[in-house]
Chain A
Amino acid sequence: MRREAPKTVADYTPLFFPGFMLVIFFVVPFSTMIVVSFFKRDPAGFYTPDFVIDNYARFLSVFFGSVLGFSLVLAIIVALCCVAIAFPFTYLLTRCPRRVQTLWLVGLLSVLSLSEVIIGFAWSTLFSRTAGITNLFVALGLMEQPVALLPSFGAVLTGMVYQALPYTILVLYPALVRLDPTLLEAARTLGASPLLAFFNVVTPALRNTIVATLIMVFVFALGSYLLPQILGRPQHWTLSVLITDQAIYQSNMPFAAAMAVFLVLISLALVGMMLLVGRKENAL
């Protein structure tokens, strides 16, 4: 059995079901959303068919601008924090024995798969007055009284870094685990200390990986929709929260759709940039 081009209709049979499902339930819904973004809001139902660009025009408001700006800045900070923590961690992890690696990977996957609801709930508990970390500080004599650490920007940031960290580590893992160990050994024989070799050899060798990971984590963080609601104040709401809010609570599906389309465009532009970076890396 050679790998060959399909010749008869029968050869295409395996594609029928996946193709049907993906087109009907992904391409069509996605297109529906784009179409709806040009419709008019119907307070009684979902929307009225129309062709207006009001939904997009609303982006020009100060409010929207500040939400977008905040979302982008927050996602950038999350991405930077995650990569800064995860890169040395993942590097050290890949030098561990297999069994240790496997154990960590299982743990990381378990945390990664956790619902945003659960992460939000867990951190809101940890930051709460009654069950929070400040109780520990009081017990240690560092504080007079337990206090609530939320809602606050710090809480939102912590929650989002928590959510994105396992993702970052797992994105970095393949590149780091396949890094040629002799590269480092060569640096060591030339007199570099392990720490120096890490900064002088490993980091520059994986510069493009780091950039690509930053972008991926950035897009991932842009998608966070619950943590800013649970852990922050309304001024900490991001574009994703706003979309949920408009779609569900304000019943303004066209405006939500317009914002979603906008978010897709930003994400696509960034993924495109990432692919470009990846191509450059392969070309080297």
Chain B
Amino acid sequence: MTALRRFYFTLVALFLAAPLIVVAGVSINEKQELTFPPRGFSMSWYGQIFTDPEWRLALIHSVTLAVCSAAIAVAIALPLAWFLWRRIAPWANIFQVLGLAPFILPPVITALGFLTFWATVGLFGQFFTAIVSHAIFFVTLPLVTLSLGFASIDRSLVEAAATMGADDRTVLKTVVLPLILPYLVSGYAFAFVLSLNEYIVAYMTIGFTTETLPIKIFNALRYGYTPTMASVSVFFVAVAALVFGSIARFGDIRRLLGAMGSDGN
């Protein structure tokens, strides 16, 4: 069984890693060519991300988009999750469904919804429309992590605080927020990483006026390969691994992914 497992794990790992290894290999080619195994060694294509004005601009767009939209997504999810945990209001669950829907539907649909909406209200192509669209598209992630976070709070902690003289606001500040902080950070991180990688919604909202990194990679794919595409891809994988690695290091990623019941057992 152990040998079988090792073999199987190796196969899956190889399948998942193979394209990334090739991309990593391509990214260190010395000349502007997409060959593997790489010919020569050069890290210059990584430098390109920051020095080439077009790639740098795309990077700035992507990071701005991800930082802002993840913040708005958390700002939407936090009060909603708090309300659903604090109050008995079954009809308010409709907002939870609305928060989960954009992520469950095929992304093209949400993207097209935004395209028709922004075109109709005449704001099509403005950068902030992508921020708002991403915030709505990814609100699911902080909503799920925060709901998990709230569900994991032992209600007797809140009651204990009340018996010691804490009113609602004090309880929120001194007990609830500190306890859900890890879930809030995870929710933000998930939304950030996915926004950084998102293509279709960004493309349908601002694709004609602005390039984010995924849009830039896709355009490069159509109009001329360059190893910078590979270095950017490796950069993305590294960012994702770093972010999720930190969540695993400082939080409980298994719980976030449902290894334990919401009651915390």
Query: What residues make up the interface of A, taking CB atoms closer than 8 Å to B?
Result: 1, 3-6, 11-12, 14-15, 17-19, 21-23, 25-30, 32-33, 36, 46, 85, 88-89, 92, 98, 101-102, 105-111, 113-126, 128, 130-133, 135, 162, 165-166, 170, 173-174, 177-178, 194-195, 219, 222-223, 225-226, 230, 240, 243-244, 247-248, 253, 256-257, 260, 263-264, 267, 271
Contacts and interface: CB of A to CB of B under 8 A. Distances in A.
Lowest 9 CB-CB distances: which A-B pairs, in order? A174-B258, A223-B106, A29-B117, A122-B19, A131-B36, A14-B79, A115-B197, A18-B80, A29-B113
Interface string B64-81: 000000001001110110
6 contacts: A17-B79, A102-B253, A110-B240, A223-B107, A253-B115, A271-B104
Contacts of B107: 223, 225
A123 B248 CA distance: 28
Contact of B116 (A19, A36, A128, A263): A36
Interface residues of B, number: 97
Given A17-B79, A226-B218, A264-B109, A125 B36 contact: yes
Q: Chain A interface secondary structure, helix, strand, loop or mixed?
A: helix
Given A1-B162, A3-B155, A113-B194, A121 B80 contact: no
A135 B36 contact: yes
B106 A267 contact: yes
Nearest to A89: B12
Interface in B90-129: 92, 95, 98-99, 101-102, 104-109, 112-117, 119-120
B60 interface: no
Interface of B: 1, 5, 8-9, 12-13, 15-16, 18-20, 22-23, 25-26, 33-37, 72, 75-77, 79-80, 82-83, 85-89, 92, 95, 98-99, 101-102, 104-109, 112-117, 119-120, 132-133, 135-136, 139, 155, 158-159, 161-162, 168, 171, 193-194, 197-200, 203-204, 207, 214-215, 217-218, 221, 229-230, 233, 236-237, 240-241, 244-245, 247-248, 253-254, 257-261
Contacts of B8: 88-89, 92
Given A29-B117, A225-B108, A6 B34 contact: no
Contact of B261 (A166, A178, A244): A178
Q: Chain B interface secondary structure, helix, strand, loop or mixed?
A: helix
A22 B99 contact: yes
Contacts of B25: 131
B108 A173 contact: no
A190 B35 CA distance: 56
Contact of B112 (A26, A125, A133, A256): A256
Contact of B88 (A5, A36, A257): A5
A35 to B, nearest CB: 8
B221 A124 contact: yes
Contacts of A243: 108-109, 112
A27 B136 CA distance: 11
Given A22-B99, A32-B117, A260 B112 contact: yes
